[in-house]
Structure 1
């Protein structure tokens, strides 16, 4: 007799189901590419697909084959061509469609490779509406085409005049990645990182070339503003390790860490080893027991290591878990410390001016920290009392910084990655979002009117201003973004002049005191519809004038048109559509060449006449043409 489970359903042999590789990837994509997303976040799945294919090209380059990679993205179609050895022709289909198939299990062939699990291109194949691969090898070529991981055509091997290498075309499946779009800025950052870690490699993207001659030195030069550096960038290279270090005037730490050419956005053992080793070497050099936070305050640094068979904490390889550099060999901590203890110590002895500038920066941070200590204590006590009955924050269940628990950790991690806090203006807006939100992953922080313009103020104001202090506590970023509670910080304001002003004030707050939040792609602007166009049969929500005109034309006749001016005007039932799976949000991006302080000074400083002239010169007056449409 078959047993019944707690829900009364029979549990028999028929209950057991085996999924093939394609079905499993499509059913549980989060296991393979992290979150899905629509392309508005740098860690969305469409960029992971792109990266998985490029990683294979990079591995070929690292093995000494191919100095050029060509990438083209036209609308939603991705084309990637490398000039490595090319997939062995008899294995073209297997390599992109059979799980655990690849050359990287033999560490002699790919000893310090990025991808070691034989999953990468299979995930791209399974999650693509269309996938085509062609291998060119020794004057011959072989092509195969797939749809959602299913082989639809395998071409016969043929002669070819092409140079050796692999050509991949794919179109991400829009039933998996809904309403997706590629953000060019994210792709550019991805490609630059590949170039910095592979000096001399030339990557072409939509006709534009990316190449680096000086590795991590070039990275820091691009990521920092020369005028704000306290001393010239220190650039050190050794066997399987490279670092670049400087200090600037920003708050917080800006660290970029890499393993075997992979940008580990969430750090890991190598990044922590660098943070600890840098503190120890500096203390030993100056023979002073400086506080670690003072040594690392305002640091901008990059560290890249190469290890044998790296262990990552997820398939997307965003955090390194390896404790040793080689299997059973030297610990990561000892490896990084020994390198810095020798090379950084030598550099500081040979460059006393740089050493003196570093010392002054550390001692300035020490003074600032001590000045803040008293205010900080009072502010934190106020924040603790407020947290007991904080009406400003309506929290969610899952948070970005927590260790996943429970049986289904993959599902928990997915929810943590989707954790979002909406920063709203006033009670009406926060009320609509609160009623419509997903209580598991979406929190709401309600502002009272317009926040303070904090441009030019010191961090002291963050503690003295109750609203700013409560916001930093809600985000949990007081000591840096390592413990950030929400992956997505979404500014949700009305689509009017006051709403735009509040956006600017909040962006100024983040750029002034927590720039790493913006640089790491955590800050967004919520897009909500400006118009609702409907008749008795259909309702269409429109985000701009062009969409409105298109909707009017589609519905015909005289549809009812509603203009939403404030978030409070949108009912909770309607609002749930705009903050769910199809939520539109624009990332707040700071390009490396942007001089943040100059930007803030111009738009948020006291140069009112210049701003007034700019507004007058660029003023646009839009006329609502719907009133003049023929009836």
Structure 2
């Protein structure tokens, strides 16, 4: 028997030194994968940003090396590393080797940092602990200090030498450790995104990104927004926005609870309205709040409340009409908020959301007041905003009605044999073997029905030419019985999105009733057109069927060649030539293959239905895209494009012309 684990007084242990991070990186960085590794880089960058925001240095350089190491250089005051009489230890030991040691615990006094990204005294130490190596250079107080660490341990102590130049700053060069993180290959795109965001919320600070593309060769990209979030919001909204970007600013003392101390909070907002784009970005102490938190709640409350009040005051709602929602506002809102506070409650060390009630209340009040004044001072803008929000609201409500109608119309259990005209089901209930043949007309239905294996092959005829789904709007599409019947038979619903990107469909590929959906049309011009129309329909309404490899085309033979001994079916001109060569000196007859409805059941089984002898072509996403493109050229509104295509390619189709 396996030995039972012992759990006694000797079982309890504590992690010490670097092991506190190296063995449990996810506790500090949120992950031991690439996300955690990225956050470790941001911890170092944060310190340089805090210095620049305090007015010490206006340039920060980040270098990404081929060996996956990183270098961050700033021109701040330089990290204190010399002896600390108060603590009776060297500052470098506290900062680089002691968790919860730093100079940002008393921010409300403004003594060291008024507003800072770093709060907990974890960043430098935890990143150093999680590094394969870290080299540090500090220039301050007329000295240049150097430190070297390997796998979380200092090697060689503190180097110190006189420095005669007047510049100050810090340089950190380190490599995240693969013994700590499962992945350290941080992409250039991550750096570009982070540095651009930091340039946005740190007006006037220039961020240089150097990316080593081959040994010793670097590509440089610079980011700087002189007017910070105002410039960025203008960039997002574009020149054709519904309203110009507004900049609102406020600073006040707040508290998170009545019995808690006050702290300072600064709020900067850049906002505009657009009928083309919608973006919301929130930052706190220059950290991007990916999950929002307090700012998101404030925006939802203030914008919905104030715009709703305006609509009521100006009688813009129709009688009995319901109130707007945030979605209606969000769909036309471009907003960037950059807030700062001397005390901050983040959800965790990764700083992706803040929870301060005081900040949320101050922001809500500020936004409500700013919107109220803006609407009074800019009545034309207020009218445009109200109109667009109402358009969004009514479009959303119409979309929801359409979605519910689609769900009722296209899904649910039903007796398809009775509800879908002329559909012929198969006996098998096993989705993994069931095949659906979509055929062209009643005559083809008859021959395919006789030739099929009724155990697992079902048949659905298309009555007439199907609607061009590429050009028609959804209301028209779903009024077509051919299309709605076909969707019922498929069983999986539709993937339908409006221009506003609202999902109207109820789609679940797991509800598809077939292993294969096979288009079976004549090998002539009309048959090809019906095939393209079917492909276009699936491409627009249920593209996942193509992506998952569920859609096929049954390849019909072009020629039937009959000799005394045997009958051959040629699917192209090359095969025809090969068969004729084989029959040299023999008597044979050759004729173009008939339409599906004229073929004998035996021939249909052999060439189209029997899995052992038929030829099926799987439709790939590129095939459907090309079919849609060609359909647009040949039957769309681009007359010049059609003429150009025919002039260039018309000679390729002369053999297909039926002229005498």
Whether 1:372 aligns to 2:364 is no
* Preserved CA contact (<8 Å) 2:134 2:172: yes
Shift of 1:334: 2.7
Residue pairs, 1:182-261, within 5 angstroms: 182-206=186-210, 207-227=220-240, 229-239=241-251, 240-249=266-275, 254-261=279-286
Gaps of 5+ in 1: 1-5, 39-43, 325-331, 392-447, 472-497, 507-599, 617-631
Deviation of residue 382 (structure 1)? Answer: 9.2
Partner of 1:37: 33
What are the Cα deviations for residues 478-503 of structure 1, in whole angstroms up to 9, with x where unaligned?
xxxxxxxxxxxxxxxxxxxx9xx979
1:511-544 Cα offsets, whole Å, 9 max, x none, are xxxxxxxxxxxxxxxxxxxxxxxxxxxxxxxxxx
What's the offset of the Cα at 1:209? 2.0
Instruction: Give 1:464 deviation, angstroms.
Output: 3.8
Say yes or no: does 1:128 pair with 2:131. Answer: yes
Distance 1:382 1:104, change over 3 A: farther
Aligned to 1:143: 146
Q: Aligned to 1:220, what secondary structure does the other structure show? A: helix
In 1, Cα distance between the equivalents of 2:397 and 2:203?
A: 43
Q: Do 1:383 and 1:469's aligned partners in 2 also have CA atoms closer than 8 Å?
A: no
CA apart distance, 1:33: 0.9
Conserved? CA contact 2:203–2:224, under 8 Å? yes
CA distance in 1, matches of 2:57, 2:501: 53
Change (3 A) 1:367 1:148: same
For 2:346 and 2:151, how far apart are their aligned partners in 1? 27
Determine the structure 2 residue equivalent to 1:114: 117
Aligned with 2:70: secondary structure? strand
CA RMSD across the alignment: 4.0
Shift, 1:373, TM fit: 2.9
Alpha-carbon spacing, 1:221–1:35, altered in 2? closer, same or farther (3 Å): farther
Residue of structure 2 in register with 1:64 after alignment = 55
Shift of 1:221: 3.1
Residues of 2 paired with 1:469 and 1:458: CA distance? 26
Please report how far the alpha carbon of residue 336 of structure 1 lies from its aligned counterpart in structure 2 after TM superposition.
1.2
Match of residue 355, structure 1, among 378, 382, 405: 382
| Shift in Å, 1:48 | 0.8
Q: Which runs of 5+ in 2 are unaligned?
A: 83-90, 211-219, 252-265, 314-322, 414-430, 433-488, 513-538, 548-628, 646-660
Q: Does 1:80 align with 2:72?
A: yes
SS state of the match for residue 306, structure 1? Answer: strand
Give 3-state SS (helix, strand or coil) of 2:18's partner.
Answer: helix
CA shift for structure 1 position 113: 1.6
- Verify the 8 A CA contact 2:73 2:172 in the aligned structure 1: yes
Where in structure 1 do 4 or more consecutive aligned residues deviate above 6 Å?
380-386, 451-456, 468-471, 501-506, 603-610
- More relative contact order, 1 or 2 (CA 8 Å, 6+ apart): 1
Q: Distance in 1 between matches of 2:205 and 2:126?
A: 26
Correspondences of 1:215-364 after superposition (within 5 Å)? 215-227=228-240, 229-239=241-251, 240-249=266-275, 254-287=279-312, 289-324=323-358, 332-364=359-391
Corresponding residue for 1:157?
160
| Counterpart mapping for 1:485-564 below 5 A | none
Task: Kindly report which structure 2 residues correspond to 1:12-23, keeping only aligned pairs within 5 A, or say none.
Answer: 12-23=8-19
Decide which structure has the larger Cα Rg and report it: 2
Deviations along 1:311-357, one digit per CA (max 9) or x if unpaired, are 11111111112222xxxxxxx33311221232222222222332222
Q: Give the TM-score normalised by the residue count of structure 1.
A: 0.58
Look up the match of 2:554. Answer: none
8 Å CA contact 1:86, 1:135 repeated in 2: yes
Cα 1:99–1:26 change in 2 (3 A) is same
Query: In the comparison of the two structures, how many residue pairs are matched?
Result: 411
